[in-house]
């Protein structure tokens, strides 16, 4: 037999409860009866059994899944790939608690939302019967029965003072709205797939930022490189301000003299010689000869003056500023002071 939907409209709770009781007496189960109302009447008021919702079970399942996921993220991954830093534990407790809370709540909310949709049988394309007067306070009782019981159910509704009884045939699942919905979704997915293929095979070029991977660049110590402007201040700060050293002389100490001796051997010996008397290996190529650093003429110069000679050069002597930082120049000066005759 074909199925028939009947919707009875009532304007009060008592006749609604009596109509539902008559339906029970006719052998119609609660699964076939749906009460539609704008007011949240309790099930026992209408003579119906209390139904325990299963949304809470779905939420609990989502929470357990969230806890499991958080455990994998905060404990499992750290145990698989342990990384000890600063003496901290492999699994840090305070940050892990935050991850546990966030992921657990996320799982609970998503499971509750999806569980509500599934348990409510959404989306519903069958077009269940409805009357706009229900929003004005009427109570609707929908019954799904075989056509053979249609007249009996309608008589039971009218006997209990139903305002109106409506009959309708259930529409098939694949109806116009269903086809329209899935046609729209299918068309949209087809367009997305076609666009993805066009981008994938460079039919429509799509340029993404490459973080300068495709940009011309130079590796470390690879030219050409642009020199800094003449007035640029070095990263470590200026060496000279207004023609005088920008830093105070370093006090002479055994450590400073030892550093100066090493630097003197790398930058000064070729011209001034190992003892500083100006007899280095390349001294024969200079006229006049390199200065004798042990002479009273040099030793009587102020430390600031020697610093400026090292920085700017003097006569045939070039600047050594590129080789020595300001601190290293003071170390060389402290060593030169030990070369007195």
Say which CATH number the domain at 284 has.
1.10.760.10
Q: Of 135, 168, 201, which residue sits at a domain end?
A: 168
**Domain annotation covers residue 194:** no
Per-residue model confidence (pLDDT) at position 215: 64
Question: What percent of the chain shows pLDDT beyond 90?
Answer: 41
Q: Are residues 154 and 247 in the same domain?
A: no
Q: Are residues 164 and 36 in the same domain?
A: yes
Q: Are residues 29 and 164 in the same domain?
A: yes
Q: Of 168, 189, 213, which residue sits at a domain end?
A: 168
DSSP 290: P
Q: Are residues 161 and 252 in the same domain?
A: no
Task: Write out the residue range of the structural domain in which residue 255 sits.
Answer: 240-339
CA 195 – CA 204 distance, rounded (Å): 9
**Domain annotation covers residue 203:** no
Q: Are residues 137 and 266 in the same domain?
A: no
Q: Which two tokens stand for residue 59?
A: 């939420």
CA 99 – CA 121 distance, rounded (Å): 33
**Domain annotation covers residue 288:** yes
Per-residue model confidence (pLDDT) at position 241: 84
Per-residue model confidence (pLDDT) at position 279: 92
Asked if 63 contacts 107 with a C-beta cutoff of 8 angstroms, the reply is: yes
Q: Are residues 142 and 246 in the same domain?
A: no
**Domain annotation covers residue 173:** no
Q: Are residues 138 and 28 in the same domain?
A: yes
**Domain annotation covers residue 235:** no
Q: Are residues 107 and 16 in the same domain?
A: yes
Domains of the chain: total: 2
Q: What is the pTM of this model?
A: 0.41
Q: Are residues 26 and 123 in the same domain?
A: yes
Q: Of 168, 200, 223, which residue sits at a domain end?
A: 168
Quick count: other Cβ atoms within 10 Å of Cβ 26? 13
Q: Are residues 258 and 144 in the same domain?
A: no
Per-residue model confidence (pLDDT) at position 101: 95
Per-residue model confidence (pLDDT) at position 274: 92
Q: Are residues 147 and 11 in the same domain?
A: yes
Q: Which two tokens stand for residue 42?
A: 């309790």
CA 279 – CA 293 distance, rounded (Å): 11
Q: Are residues 159 and 25 in the same domain?
A: yes
**Domain annotation covers residue 177:** no
**Domain annotation covers residue 229:** no
List Cβ neighbours of 330 (8 Å cut-off, separation of 6 or more): 247, 249, 250, 256, 303, 307
Per-residue model confidence (pLDDT) at position 63: 94
Quick count: other Cβ atoms within 10 Å of Cβ 8? 28
**Domain annotation covers residue 226:** no
Q: Which stretches of the chain score pLDDT less than 70?
A: 1, 123-127, 170-183, 208-225, 233-236, 341
């Amino acid at each position: 037999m074909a199925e028939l939907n009947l919707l009875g409209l009532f304007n009060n709770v008592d006749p609604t409860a009596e109509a539902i009781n008559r339906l029970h007496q006719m052998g119609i189960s609660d699964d076939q009866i749906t009460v539609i109302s704008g007011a949240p009447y309790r099930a026992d008021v209408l003579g119906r059994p209390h139904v325990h919702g299963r949304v809470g079970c779905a939420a609990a399942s989502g929470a357990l899944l969230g806890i499991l996921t958080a455990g994998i993220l905060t404990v499992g991954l750290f145990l698989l790939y342990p990384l000890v830093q600063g003496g901290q534990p492999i699994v840090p407790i305070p940050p892990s608690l935050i991850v546990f809370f966030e992921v657990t709540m996320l799982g609970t909310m998503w499971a509750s939302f999806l569980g509500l949709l599934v348990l409510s049988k959404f989306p519903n394309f069958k077009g269940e019967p409805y009357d706009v007067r229900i929003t004005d306070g009427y109570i609707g009782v929908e019954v799904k029965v075989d056509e053979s019981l249609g007249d009996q159910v309608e008589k039971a509704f009218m006997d209990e003072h139903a305002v109106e009884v409506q009959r309708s045939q259930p529409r098939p699942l694949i109806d116009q709205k269903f086809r329209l919905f899935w046609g729209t979704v299918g068309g949209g997915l087809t367009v997305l797939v076609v666009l993805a293929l066009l981008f994938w095979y460079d039919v429509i070029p799509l340029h993404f930022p490459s973080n300068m991977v495709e940009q011309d660049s130079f590796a470390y110590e690879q030219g050409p490189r642009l020199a800094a402007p003449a007035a640029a201040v070095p990263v470590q700060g200026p060496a000279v301000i207004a023609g005088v050293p920008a830093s105070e002389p370093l006090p002479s100490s055994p450590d400073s003299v030892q550093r100066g001796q090493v630097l003197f051997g790398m930058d000064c010996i070729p011209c001034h010689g190992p003892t500083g008397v100006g007899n280095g290996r390349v001294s024969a190529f200079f006229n006049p000869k390199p200065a004798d650093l042990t002479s009273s003429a040099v030793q009587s110069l102020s430390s600031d003056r020697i610093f400026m000679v090292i920085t700017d050069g003097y006569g045939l002597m070039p600047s050594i500023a590129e080789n020595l930082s300001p601190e290293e120049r003071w170390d060389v000066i402290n060593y030169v002071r030990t070369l007195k005759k």
